[in-house]
Chain A
Amino acid sequence: MTSDMNTAVRVTASLDGIVDAAAIGTDHDGMVRVTATPADLHAVCAALKGAAGFEANTLVTARDHGAGEAQRFELFYQFLSYEHADRVRVRVMTEGDDPEVDTITDLWPGTSFSERECWDLMGVRFGGHPDLRRLMMPEGFDHHPLRKDFPHIGIEPDRLYRQWDEARRAEFEASEAAKGAH
């Protein structure tokens, strides 16, 4: 929470040899931030839990930068240390429309629901998760609603219906225009 120099020093020491010192900084709200890659995410989290003493996970979530972006989904993890009374945020940029990262449920069992929610609503897979089912939406639901290309109002059938309706109207208007030309 606070911009505590000790937190940054402790995090940097625990991540020595795993990520560059340049990957550790401070976010807009003053929280210490570690930028990880999907490949070293699990090692970063293990070091934060072990050497840096972050005992609890606060949240796992993702942000969609928009369809068509090469690095589309950005994952956010936040960890809390009860002993030192501080927090750290881990941010991971992933590639492609259907990204997959390693699960951290083996380190913190309490991240299970958070990861399931992230898969359900954002469509980010967590490899090695013991039970990666949808959490909020029903099984068999085809979409990941928090993605930016999912409409705010009306699910897929409505949108398809509108597109079909618009195409039909365009056809009608074109035929009317053709009649007027004669």
Chain B
Amino acid sequence: MESKIIEYRPGFAQSDADDPIHGETLPINMGPQHPATHGVLRLAVELDGETLASVQPDVGFLHRGKEKACESLGWAKFFPHTDRLDYVQPLMNNVGYAIALEKLAGVEVPERGQVLRVLLMEVSRIAAHLIYLGTSAIDLGAISMFFYTFKERENIYSILDAYTGHRMNNTYVRIGGVYADVDENVTGMLREFLEQFEARVDEFEGLLTGNRIWYDRNRDVGVITAEEAKAWSLTGPILRGSGVEWDIRKQEPYSGYETYDFDIPVGTVGDCYDRYLVRVEEMRQSCRIALQALDRLDTVKGDVLAEDRRFVLPPRADVQASMEELIHQFKIVTDLRLPKGEAYGCVEAAKGELGFLAISDGTSEPARLHIRAPGLMNVQAIPLIAEGRLLSDIVAIIGSLDFVMGEVDR
């Protein structure tokens, strides 16, 4: 190709016709190793000047065939794999999967198990939103935010470590409840953390909400109307940021959310700034729910795992004392047979509606598990709101859509 030397003369391009490169677009490959794409997302970007002429998201770099893996592993052994979907909120994924299987099997979770699930989910939501806040702020240049949010997240991980024995990838939820009860050490740590957390959120807001740079970079950027959000299958904080008051915890309660006192924040404009405000308020509300759940642990006593020997693991103490129970546990883990049928279980995850469509044919091999990942829909919406905007806005948009590629690609 013949190269063309363009001489730069200030004031030369008085009109589009004078501009020697007018109408030519510049293709740019953003990702899959770009730090601002939050994992392995590739964006094929076409630039007209500094304006985004087209944006094509390309996903699948982290595709591990989770749905196929479920078919070969069986229902019970797939639990650790759900942790690795959205790996910043593993316990939420566990619960979503467990709800689908419990619907299929018809297992009721005991009340204390439900309270513990709510507690774990809300703490996970805070951890996931802290990641959003830290990473989206560092992408826009507010580097100190990252350290403040990760310090708080570190506290949550220490508490989860004390409770479940793992910092990440906890796998603590089972069909019929949670694996084991909490002790006073953990509840004490949690209460201490949650009681000081509201003040930390105030600090975060003090750094960002009224910050001129943060406001200008986010306000009126990436506007999604309520109609668009519905038609594009967007859920969670993005839908609520667009002004739709929809939260599965309120409208289709699971795990006893109808008995907790909390509010649903909604935005008015539907831009990146509204989504930021919604998530910050959700952290406060999660804190409120978690404190209510902690209070309930003092009064609600009993089992944390249902007693149903067809589908639920036998108690650990019995397994260590009796050979029959050991065989029973082995059968449940390796050869769990759920009744024939299909069940959809979903939770309001930090990113949106995380759903599991479990289809069983009555054998120990799952017929199909479909994971409805909210992140995939969020990635799909990038061209909708990014095209026509400046290149620098795409960083704010990706940050505000808040997806984790482990869940998008599965």
A interface residues with partner B (beta carbon < 8 Å): 1-2, 27-29, 31, 55-59, 61, 63-64, 76, 78, 82, 85, 87, 89, 108-114, 117, 121, 134-138, 145-146, 150, 152-153
Contacts and interface: CB of A to CB of B under 8 A. Distances in A.
Given A27-B341, A108-B233, A136 B63 contact: yes
B370 A59 contact: yes
B155 interface: no
B343 A28 contact: yes
A137 B65 CA distance: 10
Interface string B51-77: 000000001100101011101100000
Interface string B219-258: 0000000000011111000000000101000011000000
B357 interface: yes
A43 to B, nearest CB: 19
Contacts of A117: 376
A82 B246 contact: yes
Contacts of A59: 355, 357, 370, 372
B60 A29 contact: no
A58 B343 contact: no
Given A27-B341, A29-B344, A136-B63, A108 B231 contact: yes
A63 B344 contact: no
A114 B60 CA distance: 13
A1 B152 CA distance: 36
Contacts of A150: 68
11 contacts: A2-B252, A27-B341, A27-B343, A29-B341, A29-B343, A56-B231, A76-B357, A78-B344, A110-B234, A113-B376, A136-B63
Contacts of B71: 152
A110 B372 CA distance: 13
A138 B60 CA distance: 8
A27 B342 CA distance: 7
Contact of A137 (B63, B103, B341, B370): B63
Contacts of A2: 252
Nearest to B409: A136
Nearest to A2: B252
Interface in B364-410: 367-368, 370, 372, 376-377, 379-381, 409-410
Contacts of B372: 58-59
Given A76-B357, A76-B370, 7 more contacts: A56-B231, A57-B233, A63-B368, A108-B232, A134-B60, A136-B60, A146-B67
Contacts of B370: 59, 61, 76
Interface in B64-114: 65, 67-69, 71-72, 103-104
Interface in B325-378: 339-346, 353, 355, 357, 359, 367-368, 370, 372, 376-377
Nearest to A112: B380
A153 B69 CA distance: 9
A85 B376 contact: no
A58 B353 contact: yes
B61 to A, nearest CB: 9
Given A61-B370, A76-B370, A137-B63, A110 B353 contact: no
A58 B68 contact: no
Nearest to A84: B251
A63 B377 contact: no
Contacts of A111: 233
Contacts of A29: 103-104, 341-345
A146 B409 CA distance: 14
Interface of B: 59-60, 63, 65, 67-69, 71-72, 103-104, 230-234, 244, 246, 251-252, 339-346, 353, 355, 357, 359, 367-368, 370, 372, 376-377, 379-381, 409-410
B85 to A, nearest CB: 14
A17 B139 CA distance: 54
A84 to B, nearest CB: 10
Most chain B CB within 10 A, of A64, A82, A138, is at A82
Contact of B357 (A55, A61, A109, A135): A61
Contact of B233 (A58, A76, A134, A138): A58
Contact of B230 (A55, A89, A134, A138): A55
Contact of B377 (A82, A110, A134, A153): A110
Contacts of B234: 110
A135 B252 contact: no
B342 A28 contact: yes
Nearest to A1: B252
Contact of A110 (B59, B231, B252, B344): B231
Contacts of A109: 231-232
B60 A135 contact: yes
A113 B56 CA distance: 12
A34 to B, nearest CB: 14
Contacts of B340: 28
Nearest to A85: B251
Contacts of B104: 28-29
A69 B373 CA distance: 30
B318 to A, nearest CB: 31
B342 A82 contact: no
